[in-house]
Structure 1
């Protein structure tokens, strides 16, 4: 069958299923996709000189001509490959070459260059990732410089959300809160807070307490069970007050947001906002809060050693469980008052105890500025909570 323009003989349509050669011309089956069209059009592809001519399979009439220099070869397919025409300001032409049955690809395909990465797009992507990582590192390493990003109203909402998360499955002990308020009354004159914090006592066996954004403190009744005396309970509350003075909950939230940004960028594993608020403070923040709590306790008339005794008490219980030779899960279950949650939000006590004792030894000559009032014992607060829970049923 002669070509309508050149007069050269071309293979019959039924002979074109695999690359066919006539003279210097190889013909291959192909599927043509123009622009954003998903469904392609069957064509025949043949190279003549430096051009790829697409033919109608039935009439062998030329449909369009593509410059080989503008074609780029994409990743191969099991029975063919994709060709894309690089042409600015025009709809993209995509061509899928098809062969099979053990027949090799047409020889002229070697003259089509492989499509390399889009350098501009890669540079933009790399710049964007670098910018996001830079912002995340800045938030994580220098959160104090970004504290202005969270307004008082936003801090209030975050604290309320975190408290709602904590209190969802726990009974709030109003009677116990009234008794703990006496401890705050004794400590606040020695502190620097301009606004009285909101105290929440929740019935749970966990040994834990939180300083939350929005000037809030949450305490679990399990912590009261673990405090041996009034000085120990005052020490725990003074420690949380020191966190509020230093704005540690807000700074830790900003730091964790930076870590979340890095995690989401590199690992595609974002952290829920509820987990961000209930976070671990840095060791530096914990040491500073301990130092400030010791000063606050002494000025308020409490024995700062109470905080040390509390840390030593729960550390001893944890060490006793560890020496039993149980697995990690069994050790956690063996600790009578679920100490694991405390260590998940507070660093281990060893270094804190040593630093506190060193600080107290240096400040031995400092006298208390006032005598604390007669405060309820921790066991009395727990008993009030139990009575409150019983009456609520």
Structure 2
């Protein structure tokens, strides 16, 4: 009787915590956010400082200027609460084809990306996407999801009787199932959502949103991952291009209006 009462109280407390931690992303999607944004910002600032200490910045003044220009255009169209922050942008001298944005308003671009993002619009697609992660609080949501999942499994383990080999095997399977069924799909949802947010941001900033498709065509030529999509944290290149095409109408209209008014971006 006591065990059953404890179990019901524990489940009730967890359920209440999850319900009261609900938030909404910029696209209207419900989110689980358990941590204060200030804590994620501190982590982002610390991570960025560590990256700067371990990876040198690019020595190319022109390339750095180009990246800064693209980032500044994106930042200028953000909601005020994000636009007024002191964003820091660094072009890292590293061959990996990647970029990132961290809580704490930090943006990093690797020089290797500039070999694939062949013009300002394609670079803007990447920067807009990464900034989209920050606007949508994806880091907080992912940490919260992992925390809630691990706590739920730990709670279930404690309430499911005495230890045994069978019990251990069952919960190991549940852990793998949670990774594939909850955490990875959330990551793919984050990537797809950041693509849509980034598409809107780049168009409002005066960059051609159709270049986002060409960017992923370039990425495909660079090499596709052999990991099946359902086991990956990212959608396949083909899925991304299809989703971007599906969301293209409104951003394309925004860009066309800016271009007609001679307000399109001119970074390089």
Band the TM-score falls in, shorter-chain normalisation: 0.5 to 0.7
Q: In the alignment, which residue of structure 1 is the partner of 2:98?
A: 208
State yes or no: 1:231 paired with 2:116. Answer: no
Q: In the alignment, which residue of structure 2 is the partner of 1:351?
A: 239
Aligned partners of 1:353 and 1:155: how far apart in 2?
Answer: 30
Alpha carbons of 1:215 and 1:344: their partners in 2 closer, same or farther (altered >3 Å)?
A: farther
State yes or no: 1:240 paired with 2:120. Answer: no
Aligned partners of 2:94 and 2:17: how far apart in 1?
Answer: 35
CA offset digits 1:17-73 (Å, max 9, x no partner): xxxxxxxxxxxxxxxxxxxxxxxxxxxxxxxxxxxxxxxxxxxxxxxxxxxxxxxxx
Q: In the alignment, which residue of structure 1 is the partner of 2:74?
A: 187
Unpaired runs of 5+ residues, structure 2, are: 25-30, 158-170, 176-183
Unpaired runs of 5+ residues, structure 1, are: 1-118, 271-278, 323-327, 329-342, 376-393
Aligned partners of 1:166 and 1:256: how far apart in 2?
Answer: 24
SS state of the match for residue 218, structure 1?
strand
Do the aligned residues in 1 keep the contact of 2:66 with 2:267 (CA within 8 Å)?
Answer: no
Alpha carbons of 1:355 and 1:146: their partners in 2 closer, same or farther (altered >3 Å)?
A: closer
The TM-score with structure 1 as length reference comes to 0.47
SS state of the match for residue 101, structure 2?
strand
Alpha carbons of 1:258 and 1:239: their partners in 2 closer, same or farther (altered >3 Å)?
A: same
State yes or no: 1:318 paired with 2:223. Answer: yes
How many residues align structurally? 226
Do the aligned residues in 1 keep the contact of 2:117 with 2:123 (CA within 8 Å)?
Answer: yes
| CA shift for structure 1 position 354 | 0.7
- Bigger share in helix: 2
- Bigger share in strand: 1
| CA shift for structure 1 position 165 | 5.4
State yes or no: 1:292 paired with 2:197. Answer: yes
The TM-score with structure 2 as length reference comes to 0.66
Give the CA RMSD over aligned residues.
Answer: 3.8
| CA shift for structure 1 position 237 | 0.6
Aligned partners of 1:352 and 1:239: how far apart in 2?
Answer: 12
- Paired residues for 1:1-393 under 5 Å: 120=2, 122-123=3-4, 126-127=7-8, 130=11, 134=15, 142=22, 144=24, 147=33, 149-152=35-38, 154-164=39-49, 166-167=51-52, 169-173=54-58, 175=61, 177-192=64-79, 193-194=82-83, 195-262=85-152, 265=155, 266=157, 282-319=187-224, 346-361=234-249, 364-366=252-254, 367-369=256-258, 370-375=263-268
